[in-house]
Structure 1
Amino acid sequence: MTQDRSVEVDELGPGAPTPPIPIKGGGAAATSKRRGSRVGITEAVLRDLRSTCAEVTEDPEVIGEASRDWWPLAMTWALAGQVGSRAAAVARPTTAQEVAELLAVCNKWGLPVTAAGGRSGVLGASVPVFGGVLLDMCGLSGIVDVDDESLTVNVLPGTFGDLFEDELRSSYSLTCGHWPQSMALSTVGGWIACRGAGQMSTRYGKIEDMVQGLDVALADGRIVSTGGYPRAATGPDLTQLFVGSEGTLGVITSARLRVHPSP
């Protein structure tokens, strides 16, 4: 039986990225460590972006904070008032359709897009190296539904790991079984995009073993769904193509994961 229940996320609490250390002088004043040109945004482009998503900002403080992750080298730059590279704008969609339309606009104008969730990575992968748009996926958060017969859950990519697991346990007596060290800092979409492993991988498997299917927005705005086909007619495994692709092939907008009864 499928149960519908949404996770309520407090955007001022654990539902937002956790900054590693303060930037000297603040995010608004932070300069880019990377030298070279970065793609900016004109007023015409900004109007196009805002026509698809209610929250698109050029606020320099927001951009400064969003243009970094937990990369140790970037923390040393923060002490000097720098980030790796500044985005031109930050967009925070709340639906898959908004993600798709944003990507279509960026594709139309030739804008680079960097997708990011909790920004808990330690290798600088969410740094917007070429400027353009930083796509903050934390606005797509919550459990869409749970099938407690097939033991699967449909979850949105911006859901933080601790909130996801707490909701599964308290409301459904289930567990995902994925416990990375960054549990409270990372999102479900980040787990999948980075092909993560957890402390219970020997029992439940790694994230690629849990993913049953995905909804993914492509660069031109199309949305594709993977998984859910009979084993005898699978063909190429498109789900695993996107798992670990780190946003280079598309942006995950929903994931269907295998879950287990709580121990």
Structure 2
Amino acid sequence: MDKQEIIEKLRDDENYYGEFGRQYLSNSDIRALLNNPLDFKKPSEPTAAFVVGGYFHTCILEPEKLDKYKVIQSSSRNTKVYKELSGGEICLLQHEADDIELMREKVLANDLFRELITEGDVQYEVPGLIELEGMQWKGKADIVNHTNQLIIDLKTTSNLNDFKWSSYKYNYDSQAYIYSQMFGYELVFIVIDKKTKQLGLFDCSDDFLQSGQNKVAKAVQAYREFYGDENFDMNQYYISKTL
């Protein structure tokens, strides 16, 4: 299977997140590799935050697909009504869906943001594959705007003023580095504050990208140390620091 065939297969979310896609590293692996290599590739349980984030992206990029989300009229996920209607799944609450609709309106009411997201030669949910540090990395860009030669990533935040600093915590620096290498364009973040609905546009400095590159290199080093040697005993892993 050549590179283009792999990329086309990764276009399907089931392949991207499933067994086929797990043979490639991704930005989401960096947290585990840098903080707890024992958690690398462990299946994660779906969370409410993951569902809400998915609804936000779908609402802006592919609103015709919103029907795949189940929305329940309930004040919380602890009510009897929610538990009966959800069938054990994590579903969206009606007030969460309403809030996301409002965020979508705010984002697309901004002339610049609407242009970057919807106008010209734009593609959504674009898969990619690249070799970095001798390892194959996959990615899926929210928006590739060929007209403006930009990769655009949509983010929500609980505090827009802290986004510059939280972007390092959540490894957006490594995401920016990987995606800029993968697609050949600069990456910018379109961000909306979930509380105030204030909007932000963040580009990436050389220092930010260098930080991301350093994380990628360290993640690959950790991968090789822990998973490149079949004789490595995970039970011997521990963290040693001086207090």
TM-score by length of structure 2 reads 0.25
The answer to which structure has the higher helix fraction is 2
Which has more radius of gyration? 2
Higher relative contact order (CA 8 A, sep 6+): 1
TM-score by length of structure 1 reads 0.23
